[in-house]
Amino acid sequence: MDISLPWGKEYLKVSLPDSWNVNIPKRISYQNKNNLDEEGIIKYALSNPIGLSPLSSLNLAEKRILIVIDDNTRPTPTHKFFHLILDELIKAGANKNLIHLIPGLGIHTPMSESDMAKKIGEHNLKQITWSNHDAFNSKLQHYFGETSLKTPVILNKKLNECDLVVIIGMIEPHLWAGYGGGLKNIFPGLASASAIGEHHVMISKPPYAFNRVGIIPENNDFRLDLEEIKNFIPANMFLLNVILDDKQNIINAFAGDPIKSHREGVKFCIKTSGLKVDKQVDGIIVNSYPMEINFKQSMKCVANSLPALSKNGIVMGFLRAEKGLDDIPLPDKPPPYPILKSLLKLMGKANVIRFLNIVKKDLKVEEKFLAYYTLMLMREYNLFLYVPTLNSKEIRHLGFFHHCNTPQEVIDRASKKLKKNAEIIVFSEGGSTFPIIGNTLDYS
């Protein structure tokens, strides 16, 4: 059986053993019931917010307004509609001189002026002030309190100095939050590095749910914990989240209360990005399209698809990773793969984070938990990946997967680990879809 996987503007073709039982689920095609174009979708959402009044109906005269967007690691096409947000604020009496923009970087790389102009549109950027968030500068942070799970709420102090916070982002499958968007732009987006570390550590505690893609918010303590920050921020908050199709076009938008509107957006995301499958299987074929910018983004296809894989299953991954490692620091070279995998198996789930804390004491927050994630991946599964933009040194230093030099080699090597009549699921758009096993993720 031959299959084709989207690869930039082209396709990769690989041949699968005829003895495999292969399932290629398809996402539903969404037709906008009001026949609206992208700008019309945004206008409709802003005019019909969930749980709040429209921005344009507020009295924003002399009010300090903070707009928080996601950074350039997310494909939110904010430049297509940022002017509509400004229009709504101006209608409500806002003074442009009192509007400030900040990207929710968390601990990501700061954005340059050209990055910001590309993200929101050069004309829009010239109209307001902006700054980067700095998670490591305590002088720019404010302590708000702590959540019920004892996570310190230490956030950018501008959140304590404004009257209105407008949050702009997108909803998609997410590694730990279940789904992106919502208040995630604020926490961890505008949080201190120490607070992010305290929050992220829950993935390494029982039940060791290191991959939470597709878990609905009500069942995900990672999401519920970050949403508690709403109770601490004195300013009013207004959310606008978009949902994209595989071509990065806006197909829906949800505005209003940052939790209530996000919940509605998650329901829609499940319908349009969730792929129904009957059960977990022996192996999954995952392709990074359309999340192909770099290795970290391309790895989303593995995380997104993992719920469909049985324990000790096989991942066959095709990661375009156009910019290679990009801003990921090259880790130290690990022990040989067989030795490290055996060691991880022997030590047990509870000791993986302890092991990491001993051998990698100086890792920054995101590096630490991404390293933990890859160790758990390595412990639980076998990964065969084709990533043509990585060089031999980078492959050796990453060390958590079997690297294949050609697309077909991925299939050929994996087939030696799989039984003859293996059950296989193909996620050809793995960067933007996720599996729904039976009725486990129904959200009614």
For residues 157 and 107, is the Cβ–Cβ distance under 8 A?
no
Catalytic residue at 108? yes
d(CA 8, CA 237): 37
d(CA 118, CA 129): 15
For the four alpha carbons of 413, 417, 423 and 428, in that order, the dihedral sign comes to negative
Task: Tell me 326's DSSP state.
Answer: T
In 410-421, which positions are buried (b, 16+ CB within 10 angstroms) versus exposed (e)?
A: bbeebbeebeee
For residues 142 and 162, is the Cβ–Cβ distance under 8 A?
no
Q: What is the DSSP string of 253-271?
A: EEEESTTHHHHHHHHHHHH
Q: What is the DSSP string of 178-225?
A: EE--GGGGTTTTTB-HHHHHHHHGGGGSTT-----TT--GGG-HHHHH
Task: Tell me 50's DSSP state.
Answer: B
Tokens of 403: 């690297």
**Closest by CA position to 79, among listed 101, 99, 95:** 101
Give all strands of the β-sheet with 99-104 in edge-to-edge order: 129-130, 99-104, 65-70, 164-170, 236-244, 250-256
Tokens of 217: 């918010």
Tokens of 209: 């749910």
Set 133, 174, 262, 403: catalytic member: 174
For residues 171 and 243, is the Cβ–Cβ distance under 8 A?
yes
What type of residue is 79? H
Q: What is the DSSP string of 379-433?
A: HH-EEEEE-TT--HHHHHHH-SSEE-SSHHHHHHHHHTTS-TT-EEEEETTTTT-
100 strand-pairing partners: 66, 129
d(CA 376, CA 176): 14
**Cβ atoms < 10 Å from Cβ of 10:** 9
**Closest by CA position to 157, among listed 45, 66, 286:** 66
Give all strands of the β-sheet with 402-403 in edge-to-edge order: 21-23, 423-427, 281-287, 309-318, 382-386, 402-403
Catalytic residue at 174? yes
- Phi, psi at 238, each rounded to 5°: -135, 130
Set 108, 133, 199, 262: catalytic member: 108
Q: Which residues are catalytic?
A: 108, 174
